[in-house]
A and B are shown apart, each in its own frame.
Chain A
């Protein structure tokens, strides 16, 4: 292995330089796929419109897979991929940082101590992001493996943590890149090139231990050992139906009478008190007479009371349960509705295919289910921004 792993560089300028194979192919692939998935997750989570939520979740799942691989490769990978090879003592870390400040840092073949601290921190933050992301996805969106076990309240409560970790990650990634550049300049060896080719030039005088080889078969076995119980847990979780998402029976009277003038809104979109007040004043229904025979009004009223927001644990139901103090009957006046649609040009609502703010299903393709998944948004004619 030594012959392949080390080759004399073609003429070092001063000291003799050895090319060392520091990063094996799996760890390089891990690194760059992680860069890609984290970038995708950050862009789709912070910048892209809501309907990229599916891509965001996919990037998150990829990060989870990469983290599992990294742990296994940290045990069975090549010398410099192994966690044990860069688990430095705090004293070594401080020594390295002091050396950096004096621009005379001790040289290392693999991760240097400051870099190693960053690696552990990055892995911890990514684990935290994956965990909070899955809880948010399950609780708020009723999607993913935790949809059946996490409620809206928990999913919503980790939202600020997920966001904080995301911004922390951006800061750490910037520090990581800055560290790489500083180290590259100070040691006159491009760490970026090393992460691409796997080879890193080091001073021949630097004592290099005999590198341990990767054990891919052991790593594959370990991955299988992890994958089997993980699959069993996922299968068990998938047996739970999403929490707080009851099956809404169709009510032909509701669909016909209310649907004659407008989309028959999902009953979860207003709380019981609002539906009761609305049904009590049908003769002045948002400026129009929508009077109904008593029997039909009673039937529709009972249906709405049974399936009002209080009966659901979806994001839409929990959010729209907080109505506007001035206009408690208007879904489109709830603070959440206004906030979520504030960026949309009024002209978008006037488009032929939409026609009115209350035409939820024109853009939310799953409006009739009450789910209002971010991925199901499709604004006819584009979002106009």
Chain B
């Protein structure tokens, strides 16, 4: 192979792989579905926000189990770190950079948002809240 092509090819490969890690088609589909629901619920909705997601993730909520006021109660403030359940079981990092298959299985996403939101807030999360969190953790 001609040496002149090697560097651009390598660079292209790196860009492509990085993009693939972030923009997983399954995750994009889940986000797209959430965006549709968000728009249906709130016509002023434009896009999910990583900042809103971060704020929601770190906030103390009420309405759920008082022992679990925040996402960080189990997942810790650092999404790239391992979390821990009340029963002492380790939870793999939620950050997509640490676990590439996060938010790529619709059933799993629904099940765990339903459970975790009820535990922390005493209610299911809105599509905007869920989309914001996925966006936040995808960038982590």
Contact = CB atoms under 8 A, between A and B. Distances in A.
A289 B88 contact: no
A288 B89 contact: no
Given A289-B114, A290-B115, A356-B87, 4 more contacts: A261-B87, A286-B86, A288-B115, A291-B111
Given A288-B65, A288-B68, A288-B119, A262 B88 contact: yes
B61 interface: no
B114 A260 contact: no
A337 B89 CA distance: 20
Interface residues of A, number: 18
B126 interface: no
A100 B85 CA distance: 71
Interface residues of B, number: 14
Contact of A291 (B87, B88, B115): B115
A323 B103 CA distance: 40
Contacts of B68: 288
Interface of B is mostly: loop
A359 B118 CA distance: 24
For B67, B84, B86, B119, which residue has the most chain A Cβ atoms within 10 angstroms?
B86
Interface in B72-112: 84-89, 111
Contacts of A362: 88
Nearest to B118: A289
A224 to B, nearest CB: 55
Interface string A141-185: 000000000000000000000000000000000000000000000
A354 interface: yes
Contacts of B118: 283, 289
Given A263-B87, A263-B89, A356-B88, A291 B114 contact: yes
A357 to B, nearest CB: 9
Contacts of A290: 115
Which 8 A/B pairs are nearest by Cβ-Cβ distance? A355-B88, A262-B87, A356-B88, A289-B118, A359-B88, A289-B115, A261-B85, A287-B65
B89 A261 contact: yes
A51 B111 CA distance: 42
For B65, B67, B68, B115, which residue has the most chain A Cβ atoms within 10 angstroms?
B115
Interface in A350-364: 354-356, 358-359, 362
B102 to A, nearest CB: 14
A363 B15 CA distance: 47
A259 B87 CA distance: 10
B25 to A, nearest CB: 25
A359 B68 CA distance: 19
Contacts of A261: 85-87, 89
Interface in A273-303: 283, 286-291
A263 B111 CA distance: 19
Given A288-B68, A288-B119, A359 B114 contact: no
Nearest to B122: A289
